[in-house]
Amino acid sequence: EKAEITKEQQAFMKVIVDSYNRHQIPQDVTKKLLQEQYSAEENFILLTEMATSQVQVLVEFTKNIPGFLSLDHEDQIALLKGSAVEAMFLRSAQVLSTKMPNGHTEVLEERIRNSGISEEFMTPMFNFYKSIGKLHMVQEEQALLTAVTILTPDRPFVKDHPAVERLQEPMLEVLRKLCALHHPREPQYFARLLGRLTELRTLNHYHTEMLTSWRMNDQKFTPLLCEIWDVQ
């Protein structure tokens, strides 16, 4: 019946979830969050290192999404550039909402709150983090939601929308079934999950302003971040 996850959907999901678990920021990078001192300057430098490492992880994860590498090459770049910030909000939300055994949750929040981001962005950012936390997503949902976010057809400069939709649709279908499976008493859970994707879009705009205000204070980013965010 409709809700059953088929054999091929199971295999499809396994590829994405295994890739999501395989591609993580290396321990020697994330453990710095616990070690370095807490100045706004040091926090910004650490968060820049995390974001840079996260983009590298994201690229590797994306290359393993079935069908992604057969998309037009320019569209591949457009999808990565258009979804990087949203994927990183999802990743940092996961760290902030799951009490990480290694204490990353507390230190990450502290460093984000004291890294030169102006107050006006703190509220929407941490509201998002709270709303993601309340969903108590299982790992498969996190992996698929990230893949669905990356394969969003209407990113700037994407030429072949239908080709991206053809990849996103099966993932949305598996995600819908997963939600029914893992949250049987919440029939609206899938809809709430997709609602988070809308909230992510608004965070993109805030993030663009965050970048501008950081650059006004002459904060430096890495070459990879400059490339993905079209700065400097």
Chain contacts with ligand 82X (rule: CB under 6 A): 24-25, 30, 33, 44, 47-48, 50-51, 54, 85, 88-89, 91-92, 95, 104, 108, 112, 221, 225
Residue nearer to ligand 82X on the CB measure, 26 or 187: 26
Residue nearer to ligand 82X on the CB measure, 108 or 171: 108
Residue nearer to ligand 82X on the CB measure, 71 or 149: 149
DSSP states of 85-136 as a string?
HHHHHHHHHHHHHTT-TTSHHHHHHHHHHTSS--HHHHHHHHHHHHHHHHH-
Tokens found for residue 35: 């070690």
DSSP states of 33-98 as a string?
HHHS---HHHHHHHHHHHHHHHHHHHHHHHHTSTTGGGS-HHHHHHHHHHHHHHHHHHHHHHHHHT
Using CA atoms, how far apart are residues 142 and 61, in angstroms rounded to an integer?
Answer: 13
Residue nearer to ligand 82X on the CB measure, 108 or 143: 108
Residues contacting residue 6 through CB under 8 Å, at least 6 positions apart: none
Give min distance, CB of 146 to ligand 82X, in A.
12
Residue nearer to ligand 82X on the CB measure, 69 or 226: 226
Give min distance, CB of 131 to ligand 82X, in A.
14
Give min distance, CB of 48 to ligand 82X, in A.
4
Residue nearer to ligand 82X on the CB measure, 112 or 164: 112
Give min distance, CB of 170 to ligand 82X, in A.
26
Using CA atoms, how far apart are residues 228 and 188, in angstroms rounded to an integer?
Answer: 34
Give min distance, CB of 110 to ligand 82X, in A.
12
Give min distance, CB of 232 to ligand 82X, in A.
12
Angle formed by the axes of helices 73-97 and 189-216, to 10°?
Answer: 100
